[in-house]
């Protein structure tokens, strides 16, 4: 495993532990921001994983963003939920069944624009890459 991958996994593990120990609240850079834990199954490996992500509340679910901090490739979790869209999220102390889908067109633009307005670092991520950052809608199942 690369040093970068190990560091990200260690960082994620600490965030997940803090999230679960504090009823879904996390301090530091996530203090006061909506954070959920996305469960996903590896597209190639079948390995179950959990990734902490910023989210946006929607009427019947949530939106998450495959920004990878502006990297030129999508994050692994994105490929996993595209391949295996039926999954669950932890929001606060609740575990919720969801079905993932990639938003497109006006729906994607509306959600993405709001995210950039509310959290300007997402605009910075967008400026770092030529790819269109996917918006994933997690509809309640």
Residue 4 has what pLDDT?
Answer: 44
Domains in the chain: boundaries = 3-140
Higher pLDDT, 45 or 1: 45
Q: Which stretches does DSSP call E strand in the chain?
A: 35-41, 48-58, 61-65, 86-91, 94-102, 135-140
Domain 3-140 fold is Pnp Oxidase; Chain A (2.30.110)
* Sign of the four-CA dihedral 4, 36, 50, 134: negative
Tokens of 29: 């850079």
Residue 10 has what pLDDT?
Answer: 80
Look over the chain and give the mean of its residue pLDDT values, rounded to a whole number.
93
Work out the percent of the chain whose per-residue pLDDT is above 70. Answer: 94
What residues does 94 pair with on adjacent strands? 91
pLDDT tens-digit profile of 74-121?
Answer: 999 999 999 999 999 999 999 999 999 999 999 999 999 999 999 999
CA separation for the pair 88, 106 (Å, rounded): 26
Q: Cβ neighbours of residue 96 under 8 Å, at least 6 residues apart?
A: 88, 89, 90, 140
């Amino acid at each position: 495993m690369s040093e970068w991958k190990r560091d990200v996994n260690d960082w994620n593990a600490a965030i997940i532990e803090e999230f679960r120990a504090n009823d879904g609240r996390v301090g530091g850079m996530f203090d006061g921001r909506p954070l959920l834990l996305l469960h996903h199954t590896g597209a190639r490996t079948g390995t179950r994983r959990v990734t902490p992500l910023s989210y946006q509340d929607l009427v019947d679910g949530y939106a998450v963003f495959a920004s990878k901090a502006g990297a030129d490739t999508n994050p692994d979790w994105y490929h996993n939920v595209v391949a295996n869209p039926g999954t669950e999220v932890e929001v606060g102390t609740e575990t919720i069944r969801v079905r993932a889908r990639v938003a497109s067109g006006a729906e994607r633009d509306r959600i993405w624009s709001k995210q950039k307005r509310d959290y300007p670092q997402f605009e910075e991520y967008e400026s770092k890459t030529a790819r269109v950052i996917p918006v994933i809608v997690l509809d309640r199942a």
